[in-house]
A and B are shown apart, each in its own frame.
Chain A
Amino acid sequence: MFTGIRSYFQALRQRAAFEREMDDELRHHIETRSADLMRTGLTRKEAVRRARIEFGGVESYQDECRESRKLHLIENLIQDVRAGLRLLRKNAGFTALAVLTLALGIGANTAIFSIVDAVLLRPLPVSHPEQVSVLSAQQKGHFSDGFSYPNFRDIRSQTSNVFSNVGSYDLGQDGLTVEGKTQPIFTGYVSGSFFPMIGVKPYLGRFILPSEGEVAGADPVLVISYTIWKTRFGSDPSVIGKNVAINGHAMTVIGVAPAGLHVLSALLETQAYLPSGMVALEQGRPADQLTNRSEKYPLILARLKDGVSVAQAQSVLDVVSQRLAKQSPETNDGMALHVWHLEPMGPGTNPASNPVRTFAALFLGLAFMVLVLACLNVANMLLVRASARQREMAVRAALGAARGRLIRQLLVESMLLAGLGCALGIGLGIAASRAISSMNLRTALPFTLNFQFDWRVLVYALAMAFATGFLAGIVPAVRASRTNLSDMLHQGDRSASFGRQRLRSALVAAQVAGSLTLLVVAGLFTRSLSNVRFADLGFDPQHVLNLTMDPHGIGYDEAQGRDFYRQLLARIEALPGVQSAATATTVPMGEFELGGSVEIEGHPVESGQPKRSAGINFVSPDYFDTMRIPILRGRKFTDGDVQNSRYVALINETMVQQFWPNEDPIGRRFTSSDDPKHSIEVVGVVRNSKTGGLVDAPAPYFYAPLAQHYNSLTTLHVRAVASTESIARETVGTIESLAPTMPVYNVETMSESLKSVNGLFLFAFGAGLAGSLGILGLVLATTGVYGVVSFAAAQRTREIGIRMALGARPAQVLSMVCKQGVVIIAIGLLIGLGAALAMGRLVGSALIGIGPNDPLTFVTVSAMLLAVGIAACYIPARRAAKVDPVVALRHE
């Protein structure tokens, strides 16, 4: 076996030497033989002649020798490739069409796969990513991946037999001041064990040490990301030791993380890492943050020891859970720890049920359908060509070409097409994924869309191309090679292709079905998108300007912050062109939401039932005027609602219905887990409005005055009398005049900010993607229908000629030819409707305002496809009806 392979490769490498040596060897034989014969008395000339006769056909024996080394396979392949290329060049139009068709299919697939690859498949850029896991805790039915620091330390010390290292990671958003300029950044507060756990090397300087970060406020150091180093420090190699400020507190830069380092998600960059000891100070959390068991924030990431499985770690954690519950029942009662492998898309409490996967599978599926359509199209084109080449194939078979050889030659041709299509498709795919990568996500978060082509994408594209070439080529090849010479030569071109016509019709029906499915999904997404655009948000996004700022980022304490906001609102409202202005902690459909559990006074939750929860926004008094959220009952907030007055709230309709059904909620009281010390009195009811995601069902929500719940990071909403452009500059100018270094970001209109990741973005993206795929499918199906009908008409030229000679009118011919195409389309539509219904169910959860069986979409799309299909039939049918009987009959 191995010697065989070795001699094969030797022969390959030394092809020329092989030929030379074989020639030498055979010549030696003939010369020695003639010499022997001359010794028997023959003349030299006669001896050579005899030796040659005795030897037999030199050429054929040489061939056999080559064959014994399997060299002929390569020879044949090269021959086939050459012949194939010659043929493709000769039919440049056919080649261009087929290559373009395949390129579109492969391009769409690779582009979408590159996204899936970046989000789901590309391993985390840490050492041995397969060993890194993430913990979550299940308590009272809820999953959470935030832990308290004491629990983190207990878990770390009690799992050293299964984890080689356990680290914590706490998210923060802070202001980074470099040389007097402040920018908001996304930070990670990590335990000293975090960097040893992920096992990467710093790009510059050092990482946070295991000895750092355990004592509150003790280590004012930070590691910056590669991107921050490039953008804020101009790639300064002497950045180590520089003094910067985080939220106004002096810090020393100790290191630069390697480029592209991410642990949480491939899409989100951590711009700086600080020791977890700094978290209480920087995030304004209680000073006992590191020792308080009820303050649950950081994620726990753990590296499995060599050879330890997730299941083994889980069984250790089961024991640890029980121990922790017994040890501190007041916070850990009933807590069950879980461990998951850390997926490239970052931690989620339960990776098994991740919507990203569903979304990815859906779009891969749609793209795959486009490729199938492209394949069917090319298969159809090859079938047409195969019938044109029937004679050639039959003659070659009759002359002794093996059937396998003929199939191979045809397959080589389709593979060549696929190869060319793949090359072009990868180019298209790169262009498409570049375009997607450079999309504006409308967020201040450091999102990185890095949909590069790595080897996985290339392998995927090549596999697709190979499958395409094979699938598109195999049926036409097998059919063509089956051609029987005598049938062929006796019957001419007409009847031999009858069966093929049926196959081609089936292919076109499949194309119509696939295209309908794609178009229905595209239609459903587009309808959702337009529903979303015109959806009643419950507030009025027109003419509102949003600006987000964080006085904490430049070191303002609460008193300074309150003072700043008071002055700011007063000055902004006094600007000409401004109708009203307000500040709020969260933006509807923004980057984050607030919420917590609430306890309704007089309505305790029955034991065993989950706690009630509600979303929260902290707002200034004019918020409801600025957002135009109607107050249905009670009063709005006033300047009299301050820290030392009664704590008050406005609640939404759903909160009334769920917590005080059939009661007057005004004057009722509740407490929120956000601030359990204060009982809050309901002073008014507002209309429901969209707060979180667009598709979220209305949920209990309440507003409380910012004056009673200070928050440094707020968004200023300014309602303009006319256009927001006229007031934008003055608004920013007002902020600068009050606090020159104040970091202001996300300056955009409310309508723009609605296009964010939580808002319209995904719908627009989904609709755009599905729409492009649908149009591709439509084009492919149309050309398919056109091709099959015009080919059928061309084949029936003679028959049409006879009919017309016998008195058929052009209109009759027209309908006869059209009918064939329409039947195919109708069958395709029926199959497609079934497939589309199934597909609609899959995407159902992502639709807004319509069901997955939305009749309007189905009817419109079917009608459109039918119309386009009939048009594609009409053109060849009209050409057929114009046939001159004399010409048609003389044709053969």
Chain B
Amino acid sequence: MTEQAQLLPGTLDLLILKAASLGPLHGYGVLLRIEQITHGALLAEQGALYPALYRLEHQGLLESEWGTSDNNRRAKFYTLTVAGRRRLREETESWNRLAVAIGSALRAKPQES
């Protein structure tokens, strides 16, 4: 477990939106999808997912519906809303800009004067 990367703070919301953009998921499914698309980056505690889900739903970025899961149990499924999709696009862009900027900053070499 120690070799697995922890999620950067503030990235959980973005990852949830990304996970949900790939199709409706219940809470545990979101967790698995995040593990899958991040190649194993983990939340410190799985429970932290739920306040984030509730918050995103409250903000109108996700909507939820009760349905039946693979193992034939009642589960709450989250879907990305139009606003959520827009937010995901914006966040992705700004994340990429940031990543490029940080990357180039880290590649910079001391200038000879």
Q: Is A533 an interface residue (CB 8 A)?
A: no
Q: Is A21 an interface residue (CB 8 A)?
A: yes
Q: How distant is the Cα of A64 from the Cα of B66 in the complex, in angstroms?
A: 21
The stretch from A29-37, A267-275, A722-730 touching chain B is: A29-37
| Known A7-B57, A56-B45, A58-B47: A21·B73 in contact at CB below 8 Å | no
Docked-complex contact A68 and B58, CB < 8 angstroms = yes
Docked-complex contact B46 and A57, CB < 8 angstroms = no
Distance in angstroms from A224 CB to nearest chain B CB is 63
Q: Which of A26, A54, A57 has the most CB of B within 10 A?
A: A54
Q: Is A67 an interface residue (CB 8 A)?
A: yes
Which residues from chain A contact B33 at a C-beta distance below 8 Å? none
Output the nearest chain B residue to A4 by Cβ-Cβ distance.
Answer: B58
| Known A3-B59, A4-B59, A25-B76: A33·B47 in contact at CB below 8 Å | no
Which residues from chain A contact B58 at a C-beta distance below 8 Å? 3-4, 7-8, 68-69
Docked-complex contact A35 and B71, CB < 8 angstroms = yes
Docked-complex contact A28 and B45, CB < 8 angstroms = no
Q: Is A61 an interface residue (CB 8 A)?
A: yes
Distance in angstroms from A189 CB to nearest chain B CB is 66
| B45, B47, B54, B71: the one within 8 Å of A68 (CB) | B54
| B26, B54, B60, B76: the one within 8 Å of A65 (CB) | B54
Q: How distant is the Cα of A54 from the Cα of B60 in the complex, in angstroms?
A: 28
Q: Which residues of chain B from 56 to 113 have any CB-CB distance to chain A below 8 Å in the complex? A: 57-60, 66, 69, 71, 73-76
Distance in angstroms from B45 CB to nearest chain A CB is 3
Q: Is A55 an interface residue (CB 8 A)?
A: yes
Which residues from chain A contact B60 at a C-beta distance below 8 Å? 3-4, 7
- B33-48: contact bitstring with A at CB < 8 Å (1 yes, 0 no)? 0000000000011111
Distance in angstroms from A25 CB to nearest chain B CB is 5
Docked-complex contact A61 and B50, CB < 8 angstroms = yes
- Interface size of B by CB at 8 A reads 24
Q: How distant is the Cα of A4 from the Cα of B61 in the complex, in angstroms?
A: 11
Q: How distant is the Cα of A65 from the Cα of B50 in the complex, in angstroms?
A: 7
- A42-75: contact bitstring with B at CB < 8 Å (1 yes, 0 no)? 0000000000001111101100110111000000
Q: Is A236 an interface residue (CB 8 A)?
A: no
Docked-complex contact A68 and B51, CB < 8 angstroms = yes
- A575-615: contact bitstring with B at CB < 8 Å (1 yes, 0 no)? 00000000000000000000000000000000000000000
| B44, B66, B71: the one within 8 Å of A32 (CB) | B71
| A25, A29, A68: the one within 8 Å of B46 (CB) | A29
Docked-complex contact A28 and B26, CB < 8 angstroms = yes
Output the nearest chain A residue to B56 by Cβ-Cβ distance.
Answer: A68
Which residues from chain A contact B71 at a C-beta distance below 8 Å? 32, 35
Distance in angstroms from A592 CB to nearest chain B CB is 70
Q: How distant is the Cα of A468 from the Cα of B39 in the complex, in angstroms?
A: 61
Q: Is A24 an interface residue (CB 8 A)?
A: yes
Docked-complex contact B48 and A65, CB < 8 angstroms = no
Docked-complex contact B50 and A21, CB < 8 angstroms = no
Q: How distant is the Cα of A54 from the Cα of B47 in the complex, in angstroms?
A: 8
| Known A4-B60, A28-B26, A29-B27: A57·B47 in contact at CB below 8 Å | yes
Which residues from chain B contact A64 at a C-beta distance below 8 Å? 50-51, 54
Docked-complex contact A29 and B28, CB < 8 angstroms = yes
Distance in angstroms from B40 CB to nearest chain A CB is 14
Which residues from chain A contact B27 at a C-beta distance below 8 Å? 25-26, 28-29
Q: How distant is the Cα of A7 from the Cα of B74 in the complex, in angstroms?
A: 22
Q: Which of A25, A55, A67 has the most CB of B within 10 A?
A: A25
Which residues from chain A contact B76 at a C-beta distance below 8 Å? 21, 24-25, 28
Which residues from chain A contact B44 at a C-beta distance below 8 Å? 56
| Known A4-B60, A28-B74, A54-B46: A33·B28 in contact at CB below 8 Å | yes
| Known A4-B58, A7-B57, A35-B71: A28·B28 in contact at CB below 8 Å | yes
Which residues from chain A contact B74 at a C-beta distance below 8 Å? 24, 28
Which residues from chain B contact A7 at a C-beta distance below 8 Å? 57-58, 60
| B46, B51, B73, B75: the one within 8 Å of A67 (CB) | B51
Distance in angstroms from A502 CB to nearest chain B CB is 47
Which residues from chain B contact A56 at a C-beta distance below 8 Å? 44-48
Output the nearest chain B residue to A70 by Cβ-Cβ distance.
Answer: B58
Which residues from chain B contact A55 at a C-beta distance below 8 Å? 45-47
Output the nearest chain B residue to A61 by Cβ-Cβ distance.
Answer: B47
Distance in angstroms from A402 CB to nearest chain B CB is 19
Output the nearest chain B residue to A66 by Cβ-Cβ distance.
Answer: B54
Q: How distant is the Cα of A56 from the Cα of B51 in the complex, in angstroms?
A: 13
- A12-25: contact bitstring with B at CB < 8 Å (1 yes, 0 no)? 00000000011011
- A343-363: contact bitstring with B at CB < 8 Å (1 yes, 0 no)? 000000000000000000000
Distance in angstroms from A250 CB to nearest chain B CB is 76
Q: How distant is the Cα of A802 from the Cα of B32 in the complex, in angstroms?
A: 75
Which residues from chain A contact B73 at a C-beta distance below 8 Å? 28, 31-32
Q: How distant is the Cα of A345 from the Cα of B60 in the complex, in angstroms?
A: 53
Q: How distant is the Cα of A29 from the Cα of B49 in the complex, in angstroms?
A: 11
Docked-complex contact B75 and A28, CB < 8 angstroms = yes
Docked-complex contact A26 and B50, CB < 8 angstroms = yes
Docked-complex contact A32 and B45, CB < 8 angstroms = no
Which residues from chain B contact A3 at a C-beta distance below 8 Å? 58-60
Distance in angstroms from A870 CB to nearest chain B CB is 62
Q: Which of A4, A31, A65 has the most CB of B within 10 A?
A: A65
11 CB contacts below 8 A, A to B, read A24-B76, A25-B50, A29-B46, A29-B50, A56-B48, A61-B50, A64-B51, A64-B54, A65-B54, A68-B54, A69-B58
- B interface residues, Cβ below 8 angstroms from A: 26-28, 31, 44-48, 50-51, 54-55, 57-60, 66, 69, 71, 73-76
Known: A3-B60, A4-B58, A58-B47. 10 other contacts (CB 8 A): A7-B58, A7-B60, A25-B27, A25-B50, A25-B75, A29-B28, A29-B46, A54-B45, A55-B47, A60-B47
Closest 10 CB pairs of A and B: A56-B45, A3-B60, A64-B51, A61-B47, A56-B47, A68-B55, A68-B54, A65-B54, A55-B47, A32-B28
